[in-house]
Amino acid sequence: AAGVIQSPRHLIKEKRETATLKCYPIPRHDTVYWYQQGPGQDPQFLISFYEKMQSDKGSIPDRFSAQQFSDYHSELNMSSLELGDSALYFCASSHDPPRLAGVGQFFGPGTRLTVL
Amino acid sequence: AQSVTQLGSHVSVSEGALVLLRCNYSSSVPPYLFWYVQYPNQGLQLLLKYTSAATLVKGINGFEAEFKKSETSFHLTKPSAHMSDAAEYFCAVSLNQGGKLIFGQGTELSVKP
C-alpha cells in the first residue's frame, strides 16, 4: 500500500539558510499534518491543512510557513534557520477532515534536518 | 486542555515476559487515544486506537490496550515480549480522530534475551 512520502530524507543546512521540506500524502488523503521531533523529545504539532486551507496551527515559529497544493502535497518552508531547528520533521496524512471521525493519521518516515 | 502522561521513560523486560506501558490522559471531553511505535531512525507507526467503541482494543503485533475512563488510562500490553518489540512507544490523544495529536513523552522499551 502507498505510504506518505517525504523528501528529502536528510538535509544539512547552515545557520540563517532556508530549507524546504516536502510531503506527499497517501492518495485520496486530503488532510496533512506537520510535526517536529527534537532529539529525545516527543513530536510536537506544527500546522495542518485540509483541502488546501490551513486548518490548525500549533507551535510553529513565524520563520516557518507551509502550504498545501492542488495535488494535496504540502511544503514546509523554513527560513533564517537556527541551531535549535535541528530535528526530525514528520508529515502525516489522513482521509478524514480534521473535525470528523476517521481512522487516524499515517506518518511519513520524516526528514532529518541538521543545522550547523 | 488535553495532555498525555506516560509513566516511565524506559521499561526493560525479558523476552517472553509481559509488556506493560502506562499512559494516562486528561481531557475535558471524551478523547480519541492512540499508541504509536517508533523504531530507530524511522517514522511513527500506528499500533492501535480507541475511538469510543470497544474499550479493549487490539492492535498489530499482538499489542492491545484497554480504555478505563474511571482511571483516565489507556495502558498498552503484550503478553509475551519479542526482541523485535524493542522501540520507542508514544501514547497520543486527540479530541477527534482527524485532529492534531498530542503526544506523551514516550517510553523506550528494551527487551533482554
Q: What is the pLDDT of residue A102?
A: 44
Residue B77 has phi, psi (to 5 degrees) of -135, 155
Question: Which residues of chain B neighbour A104 with C-beta distances below 8 Å?
Answer: 32, 34, 46, 49, 97
C-alpha closest to that of B110 among B92, B88, B91, B90: B88
Residue A38 sits at the chain B interface (C-beta within 8 Å): no
Cβ distance of A104 and B44 shorter than 8 Å? no
Asked if the Cβ–Cβ distance from A35 to B101 is below 8 Å, we say: yes
CB contact under 8 A, A56 and B99: yes
CA distances in angstroms from B46 to A21, A36, A82, listed in the order given: 23, 17, 31
A56–B106 CB contact, under 8 Å:
no
pLDDT at position A23: 98
Strands A10-13 and A111-115: parallel
Mean pLDDT across A88-109? 79
Nearest to A18 by CA among A90, A76, A60: A76
What pLDDT score does B56 carry?
Answer: 93
Residue B36 phi, psi (nearest 5): -120, 150
- A contacts of B41 (beta carbons < 8 Å): 112
Q: What's the Cα-to-Cα distance from B11 to each of A33, B7, B16, B75, B95, rounded to whole Å?
A: 30, 10, 14, 13, 28
**Whole-number pLDDT of residue A99:** 62
Percent of chain A clearing pLDDT 70 (strictly above): 94
Closest CB from B41, B97, B100 relative to A33: B100
Query: Which residue of A lies nearest to B94 if distances are taken between CA atoms?
Result: A104
CA distances from A45 to A22, B100, B109 (A): 16, 7, 24
C-alpha cell at A78: 523554513
Cβ atoms < 10 Å from Cβ of A73: 17
Judge residue A69's burial from the number of C-beta atoms within 10 Å of its C-beta, 0-12 exposed, 13-18 middle, 19 or more buried: exposed
When pLDDT is averaged across residues B8-12 and rounded to a whole number, the result is 95
Q: With 80 as the cut, is the pLDDT of residue B53 above it?
A: no
Query: DSSP states of A54-83 as a string?
Result: EEEE-S--TTEEEEE-TTS-EEEEE-S--G
Residue B34 and residue B94 in contact, taking contact as beta carbons nearer than 8 Å: yes
Is residue B42 predicted with pLDDT exceeding 90?
A: no
Residues of chain B contacting residue A33, judged by C-beta atoms under 8 Å apart: 100-101
Confidence of residue A103 (pLDDT cuts 50, 70, 90): low
Contact status, residue B60 vs residue B37, Cβ threshold 8 Å: no
User: How does pLDDT run across A36-92, given as a tens digit for each residue?
Assistant: 999 989 999 999 999 999 988 998 999 999 999 999 999 999 999 999 999 999 999
**Beta carbon pairs, A and B, within 8 Å:** 68
State how far the Cα of A103 lies from the Cα of A81, in Å rounded to an integer: 35
**What is the chain A residue with the closest CA to B41?**
A109
